[in-house]
Structure 1
Amino acid sequence: MEKLLCPSMMCANYRNLEKEVNDLIEAGVDIFHIDIMDGQFVPNFGMGLQDVEYICKASTIPVDAHLMIENPGNYVEKFAKLGIDIIYIHPESDVHPTRTLQSIIDLGVKPGIAINPGTAVETIKPLLPFVDYVMVMSVNPGFSGQKYISSVDEKIAQLVELKEKYGYEVMLDGACSPERVETLSKVGVKGFILGTSALFGKEKSYKEIVKELRSL
């Protein structure tokens, strides 16, 4: 199955962001993944707006924004204006997630939802007709380098089964090791957010790693 490989730019080397962006594009990645955190919905802070703006301007591939923030509906227009192509919201953080997803669509951006390990598929079913992507969090959101929570495997299976009916792609964010990319791509997961488990901080080049991940 063809994969979408999406580097998590929170893990990139910020001493030379221009080189990181160019090297990753040259390696053949599909989507830049940007984590936005407010210190409230998750106990951490993510990338700044200047970084987001730079990556959007420098990129020749789509860029997504994962809004781990309270009341994301108040900010989707701002990220659309920066040039973001895909916006993920957490239904858990939004009183009116359907309205926010419709706002994203109206702005000409692709809508997605990200769901925490403790969020059941049944609770987000009403949102599935509105989204292009469903991103399963296999770690608790907010920090890189966490261990995979295996109980999400059942949720992944449910969402893969439903995707033909609703027309979205299943994505995975958290502890995406090469072994997990290989296993889950075979069962129907389309996209993988790549951090330190598979892509960053390795001795091999991005080009070598991406080639190996595609071959799995």
Structure 2
Amino acid sequence: MKISASIFSDSENDIVTTLENLNTNHVDMVHLDCLDNLDVFKDIETIKQNSSLPIDLHIITDNAQKFYPQLETSEVDYVAFQYENLVDKKLKVPKPNNMKIGLAITSETDVAVFEDYKDDFDFVLLMATNPGKSGGTFDKVNFQKIRSFRRRYPDKKIHIDGGVNGEVSFILRNMGVFSAVSGSYLFNSSTISSAILNLKLNEIESHFLVKDFMLDLDESPTIKVNDLTLENVILSLNKGKLGFTIVNDETGKFKGIIGNADLRNGLLNHIDSLHSMDMMNLVNQDPLKVYENFSVNDLLKYIKDQTRPVMYLPVINDNNETVGSVHFLNLIKGEL
């Protein structure tokens, strides 16, 4: 996941000094919030003169069109317009030099508004706190919005702005978020380098629970014991595309999982008697699993305590009912 440094959040230094620090500490992009002010392009010119970092511009205005001429010539790499402030929401943003265009929406706005922009826009910018203001706490409703947007628009990138600390960053990386804006957390840390390390690699104190960001039960591949046939297992694995399916009884109690390896081993062990095979032989009835009230640190400690790599985990409640799942494919693929 890329880290976009919100340069105006550094109140201690001028832009050139801030850029020197960002260049040294390997930030991925420079983020600028523009509150309906064309003077932002003067700052962009200063940045271009002192850094080769990509420009990530967030514009809050009621009139997007007045920014078009400057965007044509300013070599901005990413630009997002705040949806709620626009009077005319029919945007025809120019795309010079393959500039990427996004739609910024607040936590209260449904991701379905992206539908009118999906043919021309490249990404959504989810505002997890108050747009244009540094600081604030990440609103966990955005975890659900990330999953919802991913299902609707799997080919579009997701950017996040607001409340991103080390813990939130771990969750976002795991969810496949492309870029996260960091402002007050980055510049208020003891050093920028330590903040970048936390945002990209480490975890810190935990405030969110597994149930806040897991795939819900209806988003997880599942199959009931009474429906266990070889065909249904293969269909569930193929539909889920996560490498496993959860097995529940008719009341929703957790009975185990079937992974790709379980299926392969079961077929090999019963290659001469597939039609008479007891399908419960495919089920790993004592797999690794986590509870919905695990904190992020609980989850990470549990994973680190295992002797083999963990790619996915079913999530259960205190009644041994399946409530969802978590997977780590985005981390394995290199934190897209």
Which TM-score tier does this pair reach, normalised by the shorter chain?
0.7 to 0.9
Structure 1 distance, partners of 2:108, 2:165, is 21
Structure 1 distance, partners of 2:11, 2:190, is 14
Per the alignment, residue 138 of structure 1 pairs with: 128
Per the alignment, residue 242 of structure 2 pairs with: none
Q: Residue 35 of structure 1 aligns to which amino acid in structure 2? A: D
Range that drifts further, 184-193 or 48-57: 48-57
Structure 2 distance, partners of 1:47, 1:9, is 15
TM-score (norm 2): 0.55
* Deviation of the 1:63 alpha carbon: 0.3
* Deviation of the 1:188 alpha carbon: 1.7
Per the alignment, residue 118 of structure 2 pairs with: 128
Match of 1:24 among 7, 14, 22: 22
- Quick check: 1:27–1:207 contact (8 Å CA) kept in 2? yes
Percent of residue pairs bearing the same amino acid type: 22
- Quick check: 2:105–2:127 contact (8 Å CA) kept in 1? yes
> Does residue 65 of structure 1 match 2:63?
no
Structure 1 distance, partners of 2:195, 2:160, is 18
Distance 1:158 1:47, change over 3 A: farther
Per the alignment, residue 2 of structure 2 pairs with: 4
User: For the aligned residues, what is the CA RMSD?
Assistant: 2.2
- Quick check: 1:66–1:89 contact (8 Å CA) kept in 2? yes
Distance 1:73 1:203, change over 3 A: same
> Does residue 202 of structure 1 match 2:189?
yes
Match of 2:81 among 79, 83, 89: 89
Structure 1 distance, partners of 2:84, 2:124, is 14
- Quick check: 1:163–1:170 contact (8 Å CA) kept in 2? no
Per the alignment, residue 165 of structure 2 pairs with: 177
Cα deviation, 1:81-133, whole Å, max 9, x if unaligned, reads 23322111123333554542xx3225642211111111111222221232222
Q: Residue 211 of structure 1 aligns to which amino acid in structure 2? A: L
- Quick check: 1:104–1:110 contact (8 Å CA) kept in 2? no
**Equivalent residue runs for 1:43-62 within 5 Å:** 48-62=40-54
Per the alignment, residue 188 of structure 1 pairs with: 176
Cα deviation, 1:17-76, whole Å, max 9, x if unaligned, reads 2121022122111111000003xxxxxx79744322211332212102100111112213
Structure 1 distance, partners of 2:39, 2:26, is 23
* Higher normalized contact order (CA 8 Å, seq sep 6+, divided by chain length): 1
- Quick check: 2:135–2:163 contact (8 Å CA) kept in 1? yes
Q: Residue 32 of structure 1 aligns to which amino acid in structure 2? A: V
Stretches of structure 1 that go unaligned for 5 or more consecutive residues are 39-44
Q: Residue 212 of structure 1 aligns to which amino acid in structure 2? A: N
Stretches of structure 2 that go unaligned for 5 or more consecutive residues are 203-336
Per the alignment, residue 34 of structure 2 pairs with: 36
Structure 2 distance, partners of 1:60, 1:68, is 25
* Deviation of the 1:134 alpha carbon: 1.0
SS at match of 1:152: helix
* Deviation of the 1:146 alpha carbon: 1.8
Structure 1 distance, partners of 2:199, 2:130, is 24
Structure 2 distance, partners of 1:146, 1:212, is 18
Q: Of Structure 1 and Structure 2, which has the larger fraction of its residues in helix?
A: 1
* Deviation of the 1:14 alpha carbon: 5.7
Distance 1:215 1:15, change over 3 A: closer
Distance 1:60 1:163, change over 3 A: same
- Quick check: 1:146–1:174 contact (8 Å CA) kept in 2? yes
